[in-house]
Structure 1
Amino acid sequence: MEYSFRIENINRFPSPNPDITLSIVTYRSQDLRVKGLLAEPKVDDPLPGILYLRGGIKQVGKVRIARIVQFASQGFVVFAPFYRGNEGGEGKEDFCGEDRYDAYEGLKVLEELPSTDSGSLHLFGFSRGGVMALFTASYHSDLVKSVVVWGGVTDMKLTYEERPGLRKMLKRVVGGSVYKSPERYEERTPLSLVGEIVAPILIIHGVYDENVSIEHAYRLEKELLKHGKSYETWYFEDDHHFSPEKKRKVTYELLQWMKTQ
């Protein structure tokens, strides 16, 4: 099969669900070959697509097959970039710096797939993926139909201040502390671009989240309100990770919300 310049190859991967085809996609992002997991329901007609933007960095918060299949089983083609430097991809992950292009190009991959309805593309970002989703919604404002930010980072400076345990990693990856190199953290904070986002946004957050404080959600909500954007908030009496039962329930509900946008 011939692919576009963006997609280099698609290799089948064992699927735990007989109704979902899984593949590893190698695609171009800037001058790098990066990889992601693709889940396609076995149906004849094109389906809406979700770009699933994971949290964490490297092996922390990596793409989970069961989670991607969970999304796809509700009638979506789902593509989850691993981000550069992971799972055999080239380059080096830099926590919402240049690796945001892995998301930008990932959405174009989703758009080009014959299994996807290119007129119904959606973004889902969890934790660090919240930053990636907001940047992508701004960059591809003409393509994105809805955005869900769940437990999402929205202000990288705030992350540095509230997570002492992450500071060593952030200084190494971002290049200095928030005090010595504030511009590097500002470059990774999408709040100033909220005015460019067209798609409606759903904010999901646990009020007791100790990994990504509820203040991140409040700051995003403030900017959305200031710019007159369409948004909803679902705040729960929970931490960063919901119970499996509640996660399944909220996931089902957010996917129904996406289908109405």
Structure 2
Amino acid sequence: MLAPDLTFFQLADLAAEGYVITASQYRGTAGAAGHDEFGGEDVADVLSLLEVLPDMASVDGSRIGMIGHSRGGMMTYLALTRTNRIRAAVVLAGPTDLAAGLNTRPEMMQVYSQAFSHNGGELQAALESRSAVNLVARFPRSTPILIVHGTADWRVSPTDSLKIAELLLGEQIPFRLVMLEGGDHGLSEYELEVQSMIRDWFGRYLATGAELPNMAPHGP
């Protein structure tokens, strides 16, 4: 159900640069089979793409990048806990602390209750298991992450990206955090700038022989 919105044009922009673009769909969408678990077993749908891509004649299976916006950003973080085959990742306005997010958007509780079919302590455990702030230690050190968030985002608090950035720094995982002043959830005020950042990130870290930055304290 990919509409011609900003996300669509970002993917089209990458395709125009020569990248092969694939994407999974949420379970249950438009009558499809399954139940959307909001980051549960459906993470396997994302990871299954890693098995499909190498069989495509036009794909270099050793140079795979992943990009996710909002919920897709959460799925990107979760995928990173299960594989080290992603060479570079981009997360746009991705939620990292689902429980804390309920303080500003309590209506999301209904979404979570339907997705998890849990309540009480089980629901809390489900939220914690899907929150990237609790999972950073499981991220591969070999996957640099570009994180972009608008400071005027009301759907996902900008503090979610600030929180995970601090944790990534502590784990010495390569990342770049860009907070776009006054940007909304869709980063619509910065369309061309975001596209340029995505192209540059993948161009740098998916290149043959790309080197990771030295994350240890150094310099004069």
TM-score range, shorter chain: 0.7 to 0.9
Q: Note if contact 2:149-2:187 (Cα within 8 Å) is conserved in structure 1.
A: no
Q: Note if contact 2:96-2:132 (Cα within 8 Å) is conserved in structure 1.
A: yes
Length, aligned pairs only: 198
Counterpart for residue 108 of structure 1: 51
Q: Note if contact 1:145-1:200 (Cα within 8 Å) is conserved in structure 2.
A: yes
What TM-score does the superposition give when structure 1 sets the normalisation length? 0.70
Are residues 1:247 and 2:191 paired?
A: yes
Bigger Cα displacement from structure 2, 117-126 vs 176-185: 176-185
Structure 2 residue runs without a partner (length 5+): 206-220
Counterpart for residue 72 of structure 1: 15
Q: Note if contact 2:113-2:123 (Cα within 8 Å) is conserved in structure 1.
A: no
CA RMSD of aligned residues (A): 2.0
Counterparts of 2:193 and 2:132 in 1: how far apart (Å)? 29
Are residues 1:173 and 2:115 paired?
A: yes
| Bigger RCO of structures 1 and 2 (CA < 8 A, at least 6 apart) | 2
Match runs of 1:171-210 below 5 Å: 171-177=113-119, 181-196=123-138, 197-198=140-141, 199-210=143-154
Q: How far off is 1:216 after superposition? A: 0.7
| Matched-pair identity in % | 27
Counterpart for residue 46 of structure 1: none
Structure 1 residue runs without a partner (length 5+): 1-61
Q: What code does the residue aligned with 1:89 have? A: A
Question: Comparing both structures, which one devotes a greater share of its residues to strand?
Answer: 1
Counterparts of 2:114 and 2:26 in 1: how far apart (Å)? 18
Q: How far off is 1:257 after superposition? A: 1.4
Match runs of 1:25-174 below 5 Å: 62-64=1-3, 66-67=8-9, 68-141=11-84, 143-174=85-116
Question: Comparing both structures, which one devotes a greater share of its residues to helix?
Answer: 2
Q: What code does the residue aligned with 1:77 have? A: V
Counterparts of 1:164 and 1:211 in 2: how far apart (Å)? 11
Say if 1:109 and 1:89 are closer, same or farther in 2 by CA, change over 3 A. Answer: farther
Counterparts of 2:133 and 2:56 in 1: how far apart (Å)? 31
Counterparts of 1:182 and 1:205 in 2: how far apart (Å)? 25
